[in-house]
């Protein structure tokens, strides 16, 4: 196999893995947006907090990884419920910009909590997945990547099924579609709001733990929260399947552009490429690939 093809495939695989994590976080983001029409700027901080909690449980309290992981999920669930009840519910009916600002404020509070509790230095998870990389016909992939990709895909499938078949999932979709109609059908809209925040916190925490296992965790982890915007815009802000596909595309795209263009521009292309794509998409297809076009009637 040629050197170039090899390089390309390596970037592609890394991109898919990172992309699947983006997809998870984007899923949480879209969920909140669909149910409550809130843009959540604190998504990255939820991710970071989840990763740190799991790390603290594993390293400081010596709890086995699987148990620690489940405890992290419970923690995220409670955190999501708490945030929705205490902070977001009073804001129902306020202008969009105030709600956006609220989540920005929330993000800096969460960041401060993480900094005050765990400090600012980078920490790494102990070896959880086997170190030995797998070899697929010349492409070397470490096992943690495979696990991440697998777990992310599994979760995405679980959530799609949840929205399609379970009562709660259907209630959430109904609320997203038309709050008033849902309410008159006996769906507790407040319960749906709480549930969407809880699920968003959980999927973010899972994303955080996965990415923590790949790269280690530090305070800049929350930047992923901003990376989610290109993913969701690409897929359409209110489409769950769009979020997944958008996440994968952005992951691949940023790795390819970083791999090929960094030499020309002297670094940093990886961070900015998704946003350039975002602007282009907004110009030609403002509602993304799968987004619902908003037709306004007087």
DSSP letters along 193-207, please?
Answer: HHHHHHHHHHHHHHH
Structure tokens at 295: 């037709």
CB 2, min distance to another protein, A: 31
By beta-carbon proximity to another protein, the closer residue of 18 and 106 is 106
By beta-carbon proximity to another protein, the closer residue of 131 and 263 is 263
Of 274-293, binders to another protein (CB under 8 A) are 275-276, 278-279, 282-283, 286-287
Per CB under 8 A, the segment of 63-71, 102-110, 151-159, 242-250 that binds another protein is 102-110
92 binds another protein (CB under 8 A): no
CB 21, min distance to another protein, A: 20
Structure tokens at 151: 């777990």
Task: State the CB neighbour count (10 A cutoff) for residue 190.
Answer: 14
Interface residue with another protein among 72, 107, 218, 222 (CB under 8 A) is: 107
Interface residue with another protein among 82, 87, 141, 146 (CB under 8 A) is: 87
Query: CA-CA distance, 75 to 28, in Å (whole number)?
Result: 16
CB 279, min distance to another protein, A: 5
* φ, ψ (nearest 5 deg) of residue 275: -75, -35
Query: CA-CA distance, 111 to 187, in Å (whole number)?
Result: 35
Long-range contacts of 231-234 (CB under 8 A, 24+ apart): 231/22, 231/23, 231/25, 231/26, 231/274, 232/26, 232/29, 232/30, 232/33, 232/288, 233/278, 233/281, 233/282, 233/288, 234/277, 234/278, 234/281, 234/288, 234/289
By beta-carbon proximity to another protein, the closer residue of 66 and 116 is 116
Residue ranges that bind another protein, judged by CB under 8 A: 39, 87, 90-91, 94-98, 100-102, 104-109, 111-113, 115-116, 119, 226, 229-230, 233, 237, 265-266, 268, 271-272, 275-276, 278-279, 282-283, 286-287, 296, 298
């Amino acid at each position: 196999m040629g050197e170039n093809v090899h390089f390309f495939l390596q970037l592609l695989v890394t991109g898919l893995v990172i992309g699947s994590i983006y997809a998870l976080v984007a899923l949480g983001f879209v969920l909140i947006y669909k149910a409550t029409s809130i843009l959540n700027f604190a998504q990255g901080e939820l991710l970071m907090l989840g990763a740190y909690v799991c790390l603290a449980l594993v390293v400081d309290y010596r709890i086995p990884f699987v148990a620690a992981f489940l405890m992290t999920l419970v923690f995220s669930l409670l955190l999501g419920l708490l945030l929705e009840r205490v902070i977001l519910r009073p804001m129902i009916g306020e202008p969009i910009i105030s709600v956006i600002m609220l989540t920005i404020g929330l993000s800096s509070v969460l960041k401060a909590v993480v900094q005050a509790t765990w400090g600012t230095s980078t920490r790494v998870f102990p070896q959880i997945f086997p170190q030995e990389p797998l070899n697929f016909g010349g492409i070397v992939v470490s096992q943690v990547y495979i696990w991440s990709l697998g777990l992310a895909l599994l979760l995405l499938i679980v959530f799609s099924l949840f929205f399609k078949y379970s009562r709660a999932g259907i209630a959430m979709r109904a609320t997203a579609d038309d709050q008033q109609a849902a309410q008159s059908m006996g769906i507790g809209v407040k319960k749906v709001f709480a549930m969407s925040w809880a699920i968003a916190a959980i999927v973010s925490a899972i994303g955080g733990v996965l990415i923590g296992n790949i790269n280690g965790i530090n305070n800049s982890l929350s930047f992923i929260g901003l990376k989610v915007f290109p993913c969701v815009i690409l897929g359409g802000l209110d489409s769950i399947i769009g979020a997944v596909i958008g996440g994968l595309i952005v992951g691949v795209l940023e790795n390819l552009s970083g791999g090929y263009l960094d030499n020309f521009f002297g670094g940093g292309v990886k961070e900015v490429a998704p946003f350039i794509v975002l602007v282009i998409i907004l110009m030609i297809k403002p509602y993304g690939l799968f987004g619902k076009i908003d037709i306004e009637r007087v």
